[in-house]
Chains A and B, each alone.
Chain A
């Protein structure tokens, strides 16, 4: 297959620091994406608590919802600024990508802008309106936050899915013509698997991280039996994450089959498959060198079976494209295996918890259980980033798959290392500040009125 040269809107330039530009982009994402998981999933959890309060009148739920809503607000603020940086980078790092294809994918971000607008407005109303609105109106003001968390991720993912599986435009003499933005963004089969996978990841990351905070509190203070406050605060996010984790494996299988169809080279990189093979084996672990996997565990026929549901299906190998059109194999492979490994472990954890709950046993309050819960949150976050590394690095060297190389998209401006360094320092400072403020919010004593509520006593030092 030959690809017609693309007449980019601005002349492509040679950029010495392309790698740094890519890393700067990767850093900005790695910071933004865990935060947006909280934007996606946390409001729903807070609303569920508040709904419990409205139904039962039990003030404990309200206390907890109120405390969590402060965390939503703080994390949203950081999500907004990291997202703004990403928008800037579309121009600062990749001006030629935006200049050439802005008319194709830009609409997604424009609609996303409105979605965030609504989210920001209603988060403001919700978080500052606790004492000032009727309980029902206050609860209702939280609903748009849940909806916009979904639509916001829908719009962003529609752009990313388009970059992975471009359509909705034609190239005429190398120029982008006949643009149909709706088809480009929403008529794309690739969108749906990516969106669902990311959306569930948001609930897993948030659920395990929040539950982990309370499990950590138990680890430190487990001489006293857990208060009801602590148990409620642990149960709700943990149940959500544990229900989502097994489903995520099923959805991941669907994503992988979409990749096999639309981006065979990415699949080959994920699997480290050099020669095109019938009945290809799946390799666990190991390292890719010289066209094969060293020290891995081979499971015959499994790859053909998983990717195409057939014992002898032909799987396209890396040999079908020139070396310059292959992504960095080991990065992609390692990231993928990390995600799948963690995903499998978390699914097992989820199933174990569900079995315990179905039999109506209490969750053991042991060091091992609490330790596992503390680790699950960071592990889910690592899987999240690893998944995005698989997607984005696996797409290289293309920014728009098989249409525009990343090297043609990059800015001609100098000073990328300076900007990169500045961003690293800034994010480190903000990260340190964020950890500090979350710990402060977690330790803040319940207000006097809250502390006198039944069930809240003793809840103070062990978690938010």
Chain B
């Protein structure tokens, strides 16, 4: 139980990353395929604006997955990362280019610059989910042995299952993005709802087709996983996933996009849970969860940290998403704000206090050597900096004015 709980965290993180960051990748992909005219332009602008405030937070789920994995299952992480180095490096380069795209877009002035940045952004948005999907496929198809780069650097992530998983990740991202953008458009750009709805349908059908074809590929290339998926609880997960997938398309047809997003999330969760159950307790060939897991104290501290972190995180995430979904963070007119009467800034120079703090700080930090003295010294020096700043700046600003 203790040894499995972090794995559950990792899988939940993976589902959230796929759904949330997937929409973000997809928004990049749609920039590639939307036409050059003004309508294509409007679609691209919309994609950029609605992802802007949330993409960084979405992206951190990947960091979460990585750090929990290497803390709880270090040897699993080392084996996977060293063998799948090429795929992961490609994903990393894609992530750099995408992040840079967001940063650069704010300085754009001409259409040509925009086209260049959007193009690079879109290509990176294709590479990253494909590479990550292919890496996951390599693990699923048992092409990653235990050891330091013990598997083949290329064959490990270019087998049929990997290609399948990579393509599925791309198509699915495009689907999620179209659903998300259609929902978002309903609020401010009603004329964009229909184009995104049509895109969502096309991508959703494609994702369904790839997933169905995937069963055949698994049968041929990863037979033990295939057999595992058809047994025990795994089959139930796969069925839930398929039903959710069908339902989400239905929601798109009738234009209920919010429900469609949850359905899509459930479909991903079903696949990932099915995979985990089918393989449990094996992580890699010859490496079980129990052998890979870190010691008792590490696992307990990690679990406490994740639960405590989650208790802070989810309310904050809820705030961000509710502000975004209600359109509170869209660029728009500013509400003029109440200007209170100017109050003079208190600016008496607390020079004596500052000098005293500085002397205490030097004495305690630099002359004394006991740890407690160092602590007092550091606190005094920080207090010195704050007092000095607080007494100099208001005077300086008043002089300037």
A residues neighboring B (CB under 8 Å):
9-13, 52, 54-59, 70, 73-78, 80-85, 87-88, 90-92, 95-96, 98-104, 106-107, 109-114, 116-118, 120-125, 127-133, 135, 144, 177-182, 189, 192-193, 196, 228, 231-232, 235-236, 239-240, 243-244, 247, 250-251, 253-254, 257, 309, 354, 357-358, 360, 362, 411-415, 419, 422-423, 426-427, 429-430, 433-434, 436-441, 444, 449
- Name the prevailing secondary structure of the A interface residues: helix
Complex-state Cα separation, A275 to B101, whole angstroms: 54
Counting CB contacts under 8 A, is B202 at the interface? Answer: no
Q: Which residues of A contact B149 (CB under 8 A)?
A: 13, 95, 411-413
User: Do B339 and A92 touch (CB < 8 A)?
Assistant: no
B49-78 to A contact mask, C-beta < 8 Å, 1/0: 000111011011011101110111111011
A57 and B340 in contact, given A122-B316, A179-B295, A247-B384 (Cβ under 8 angstroms):
yes
A411 and B396 in contact, given A95-B81, A132-B328, A430-B100 (Cβ under 8 angstroms):
no
Q: Which residues of B279-329 are within 8 A (CB) of A? A: 294-295, 297-298, 301-302, 305-306, 309, 312-313, 316-317, 319-320, 323, 328-329
Q: Which residues of A contact B298 (CB under 8 A)?
A: 103-104, 106-107, 179, 181
Complex-state Cα separation, A125 to B318, whole angstroms: 12
Q: Which residues of A contact B377 (CB under 8 A)?
A: 254
User: Do A55 and B345 touch (CB < 8 A)?
Assistant: yes
Counting CB contacts under 8 A, is B397 at the interface? Answer: yes
Complex-state Cα separation, A180 to B294, whole angstroms: 11
A125 and B67 in contact, given A56-B343, A413-B153 (Cβ under 8 angstroms):
no
User: Do B369 and A125 touch (CB < 8 A)?
Assistant: no
User: Do A411 and B148 touch (CB < 8 A)?
Assistant: yes
**Closest B residue by C-beta to A169:** B295
**Closest B residue by C-beta to A128:** B329
A116 and B60 in contact, given A78-B100, A111-B305, A436-B104 (Cβ under 8 angstroms):
yes
Please report the total number of B residues contacting A with Cβ < 8 Å. 110
Q: Which residues of B contact A73 (CB under 8 A)?
A: 106
User: Do A132 and B56 touch (CB < 8 A)?
Assistant: no
Counting CB contacts under 8 A, is B99 at the interface? Answer: yes
Say which one of B85-93, B164-172, B191-199 lies at the interface with A.
Answer: B85-93
User: Do A360 and B297 touch (CB < 8 A)?
Assistant: no
Q: How far is the CB of A430 from chain B (nearest CB, A)?
A: 5
CB-defined A-B contacts under 8 Å, sample of 5 = A11-B147, A55-B343, A110-B306, A124-B53, A426-B96
A117 and B96 in contact, given A178-B295, A232-B400 (Cβ under 8 angstroms):
no
User: Do A128 and B52 touch (CB < 8 A)?
Assistant: yes
Counting CB contacts under 8 A, is B48 at the interface? Answer: no
A109 and B56 in contact, given A77-B102, A179-B298 (Cβ under 8 angstroms):
no
Given contacts A91-B70, A96-B78, 9 further A-B contacts (CB under 8 A): A77-B103, A103-B72, A110-B64, A110-B71, A113-B63, A117-B309, A122-B316, A124-B53, A179-B298
